[in-house]
Structure 1
Amino acid sequence: MGLLHYLSLLSCLHLLPPSFVASSPVPDPELVVQEVNEKINASRRNLGVLSCGNGNPIDDCWRCDPHWEKNRQRLADCAIGFGKHAIGGRDGKIYVVTDPTDKDPVNPKPGTLRHAVIQDEPLWIIFARDMVIKLKEELIMNSFKTIDGRGSSVHIAGGACVTIQYVTNIIIHGINVHDCKRAGNTYVRDSPSHYGWRTASDGDAISIFGGSHVWVDHCSLSNCQDGLIDAIHGSTAITISNNYMTHHNKVMLLGHSDSYTRDKNMQVTIAFNHFGEGLVQRMPRCRHGYFHVVNNDYTHWQMYAIGGSAAPTINSQGNRFLAPNDRVFKEVTKYEDAPQSEWKKWNWRSEGDMFLNGAFFTASGKAASSSYAKASSLAARPSTLVASVTANAGALVCKKGSRC
């Protein structure tokens, strides 16, 4: 196996030696290869790491509790970043989804996920067992809802997916969303008292449209027709954390269009995510607003990792960027739809990032600009700890009666 392939695999494994973490921001490749040689074939998903105090502030808040299933709503107090005030259904009842079907989007059956998310009162939604939910139409969520997949293997796949439109206080945690398709041109219910006509959807895994106080955490997302997570039309106060994203082209769009200036108020934190194999671009692609990209692990991109247009402020801190072997696509950043005379004034900064295999970040703007402060939402950990804080990104395997 070649050295570069080893390094690529290392970024998916929590196998960095203590000597590396303590002493050097960039590992000696030969030493690392030697130390993990006997373990390199182990799957990232089968390591079974039960971590307490690993430096991930979200996980350290709740994952050490062996009775997490009795204290589910405590999760709402663990959010960080711009979406830290998203409480979801913390103050409501537990709703147990027992039926994976989605036969009638206008008159959903009690016990289904669609019936749960349209209710007017706050609800903390959990699942009775493992299930695959193939949505007939977009899942139009109402405010103050949590979808909590812990304890079950929950897949929303093969049909329409999740829409957070003009609502607030949403938490989506611990589910798998993949293979989403376009839907629409039909009626869909969005509350007990209202249903309306939906035009064609884009095929996003999670679409945030005019939403606020939204937290997407520990989800596994892949292979959808449009974006994995898109936030547009005045959406703000969003945290996207601990997610595992793979096999997709346009990963994350934040900002509707260059001309839609309402997105100047957008604030998004992107933290502790693993951007994994088969990704092409938009991790994220930003417009207008303020974006804090902190302590993520980038192990694959085919065009670029972080891009944008319309003068967004991007604060990249403590990330690890492993460039692809292709010599053409080593640059992390992509300035779009503007000449250099314009984009050199945009405020894009890299601080404490780790660059491997030739990766590089093209910064712009003034280092002392106050806009950088507006794009800072939490303290970054050193990039040498990225392997630890992102080791369990994606939907977790949680069993009742033990730490998750």
Structure 2
Amino acid sequence: MVVLTVAVSCTACAVASRLLRRAGGDDDGPVAGAVEDPEAVVDDVHVSIRNSTARRNLAYLSCGTGNPIDDCWRCDQDWHKNRQRLADCGIGFGRNAIGGRDGKIYVVTDPSDDDAVNPRKGTLRYGVIQDEPLWIIFKRDMVITLKQELIMNSFKTIDGRGANVHISGGACITIQYVSNVIIHGLHIHDCKPTGNAMVRSSPSHYGWRTIADGDAVSIFGASHIWVDHCSLSNCADGLIDAIMGSTAITVSNNYFTHHNEVMLLGHSDSYVKDKAMQVTIAFNHFGEGLIQRMPRCRHGYFHVVNNDYTHWEMYAIGGSAEPTINSQGNRYLAPTNPFAKEVTKRVETAQTVWQSWNWRSEGDLLLNGAYFTPSGAGASASYSRASSLGAKSSSMVGSITSDAGALSCRKGVAC
């Protein structure tokens, strides 16, 4: 059976809703995964960070960094025998993304991508489209140049640990209308627009894909997604974009470099289904050659915690449709340009409108003249809710994020 599926470009938002129905997607029903009380998830993140740091200070873990995700698995020299344990180490809104934890190990042995409709067994594409849960690993170092979007099925983990794996020079990863996906330990860069081609999305379904933007990771109407310890740079559109009702997402421990519009979270200002979007952005390093959108948010709740911002040219965090921004314990190093010191930007919105948006900064380290403009409840002198559960001191951000990006893990050695 052939089912038509359509890739929707962020630059073609005007036709998105029409295409959704033609693609078999549901434009009206809610995407599962949003929680009623996002502040409770924020508190859980703080507890995890605090506990991990306490163990580090007590030398409880010889490799303890204070990073709760890493300290959950990296001390184990037999990590390669317990790969699926990683799925239990997530934090934040994407903490319940189990990927292929309950499935078999699938080994990528073939870096080719010759046929997007009938991929060979042993290729990455063959693994990600299967219906059953799979934990996908790589036999050796490889560079994979995808001819068309890599359309993932639910309950999949792509785990690059133990190999130097680059997805570059062609299409990249699309997570559309699925759930429970973990992307870990990949170098994803130089992604290009592709499309106007048939692409398989499951063993029983393939269809026509229109032109895709060239995002490194495109999340579309999906939930329970975790992108961790990847190195991302220099793609045609975004590095990580999440749109069309996506939620329950954690973006952690990644190293972002050499890119303009880094991360777009939200389809359009008028797409109110994105009010259910909830994203945790933690322990990432936003490094050299970045310009803006780290992230840019439209609707929803965004917890930005213990990230290291060492470069931007325009702004770091932007918004345009009343998102809630909770910035805690980050290090913001402003550029030398005297007109680009502000961390925040309300995009094409009058102050009379954005002054009620809840944007708050707690415990952030603002360097070289950087400043964060709070608003709404976040600008109130009486706001002290998180004072007792504040994010780990921004003075520790350097050590917490020192290993951001894809790790050089080798079997038999703590990673």
Aligned to 2:254: 243
- Residues 359 and 379, structure 2, Cα contact 8 Å, conserved in 1: no
Q: 2:163 aligns with which of 152, 160, 175?
A: 152
CA distance in 2, matches of 1:145, 1:380: 31
> Which amino acid counterpart does residue 224 of structure 1 have in structure 2?
C
> Which amino acid counterpart does residue 343 of structure 1 have in structure 2?
W
Q: Does the residue aligned with 2:207 lie in a helix, a strand or coil?
A: strand
Q: Does the residue aligned with 1:399 lie in a helix, a strand or coil?
A: coil
Aligned to 1:32: none
Aligned to 2:316: 305
CA distance in 2, matches of 1:398, 1:322: 30
- Residues 304 and 325, structure 2, Cα contact 8 Å, conserved in 1: yes
CA distance in 1, matches of 2:285, 2:65: 16
Q: 1:252 aligns with which of 255, 259, 263?
A: 263
Aligned to 2:399: 388
Rate the CA distance shift 1:201–1:374 in 2: closer, same or farther, 3 A.
farther
Q: Does the residue aligned with 2:198 lie in a helix, a strand or coil?
A: strand
Aligned to 1:322: 333
> Which amino acid counterpart does residue 216 of structure 1 have in structure 2?
V
Q: Could you tell me how far 1:203 is from its partner in structure 2?
A: 0.4
Q: 1:192 aligns with which of 184, 194, 203?
A: 203
Aligned to 2:223: 212
CA distance in 1, matches of 2:109, 2:65: 35
Q: Does the residue aligned with 2:345 lie in a helix, a strand or coil?
A: strand
> Which amino acid counterpart does residue 147 of structure 1 have in structure 2?
I
1:294-320: per-residue Cα shift (whole Å, max 9, x none)? 000000000000001110000000000
- Residues 304 and 333, structure 1, Cα contact 8 Å, conserved in 2: yes
> Which amino acid counterpart does residue 160 of structure 1 have in structure 2?
A
> Which amino acid counterpart does residue 324 of structure 2 have in structure 1?
T
CA distance in 1, matches of 2:152, 2:391: 32
Q: Could you tell me how far 1:367 is from its partner in structure 2?
A: 3.5
- Residues 135 and 159, structure 1, Cα contact 8 Å, conserved in 2: yes
Moved more, 50-59 or 216-225: 50-59
- Residues 146 and 167, structure 2, Cα contact 8 Å, conserved in 1: yes
- Residues 290 and 374, structure 1, Cα contact 8 Å, conserved in 2: no
- Residues 137 and 160, structure 2, Cα contact 8 Å, conserved in 1: yes
For structure 1, the 5+ residue unaligned runs are 1-20, 22-49
> Which amino acid counterpart does residue 297 of structure 1 have in structure 2?
D
- Residues 310 and 333, structure 2, Cα contact 8 Å, conserved in 1: yes
Aligned to 2:181: 170
> Which amino acid counterpart does residue 277 of structure 1 have in structure 2?
E
Aligned to 2:138: 127
Aligned to 1:24: none
- Residues 262 and 295, structure 2, Cα contact 8 Å, conserved in 1: yes
Rate the CA distance shift 1:108–1:374 in 2: closer, same or farther, 3 A.
farther
CA distance in 1, matches of 2:62, 2:185: 17
Q: CA RMSD in A?
A: 1.9
Q: 2:240 aligns with which of 221, 225, 229?
A: 229
Give matches, 1:71-90, under 5 Å: 71-90=82-101
> Which amino acid counterpart does residue 352 of structure 2 have in structure 1?
S
Structure 1 position 203 matched with structure 2 position 227: no
- TM-score for both structures, normalised by structure 1: 0.85
For structure 2, the 5+ residue unaligned runs are 1-52, 54-60
CA distance in 2, matches of 1:380, 1:213: 23
Q: Could you tell me how far 1:337 is from its partner in structure 2?
A: 2.2
1:355-392: per-residue Cα shift (whole Å, max 9, x none)? 000000000001399xx9999xx962110100010000
CA distance in 1, matches of 2:255, 2:296: 17
Rate the CA distance shift 1:296–1:129 in 2: closer, same or farther, 3 A.
same
Structure 1 position 401 matched with structure 2 position 377: no
- Residues 361 and 378, structure 2, Cα contact 8 Å, conserved in 1: no
Aligned to 1:287: 298
1:65-98: per-residue Cα shift (whole Å, max 9, x none)? 0000000000000000000000000000000000
Moved >6 Å (runs of 4+): 372-375
- Residues 131 and 154, structure 1, Cα contact 8 Å, conserved in 2: yes
Rate the CA distance shift 1:102–1:379 in 2: closer, same or farther, 3 A.
farther
CA distance in 2, matches of 1:152, 1:379: 37
> Which amino acid counterpart does residue 355 of structure 1 have in structure 2?
L
User: Number of aligned pairs?
Assistant: 353
Aligned to 1:70: 81
Aligned to 2:66: 55
Q: Could you tell me how far 1:53 is from its partner in structure 2?
A: 1.6
CA distance in 2, matches of 1:126, 1:62: 17
CA distance in 2, matches of 1:241, 1:211: 18
CA distance in 2, matches of 1:63, 1:380: 22
Q: Could you tell me how far 1:51 is from its partner in structure 2?
A: 7.0
Q: 2:106 aligns with which of 95, 102, 106?
A: 95
- Residues 353 and 383, structure 1, Cα contact 8 Å, conserved in 2: yes
- Residues 67 and 400, structure 2, Cα contact 8 Å, conserved in 1: yes
CA distance in 2, matches of 1:51, 1:161: 37
Structure 1 position 272 matched with structure 2 position 283: yes
CA distance in 1, matches of 2:379, 2:131: 45
- Residues 249 and 280, structure 1, Cα contact 8 Å, conserved in 2: yes
Q: Could you tell me how far 1:219 is from its partner in structure 2?
A: 0.1
Identity %: 76
CA distance in 2, matches of 1:335, 1:194: 41
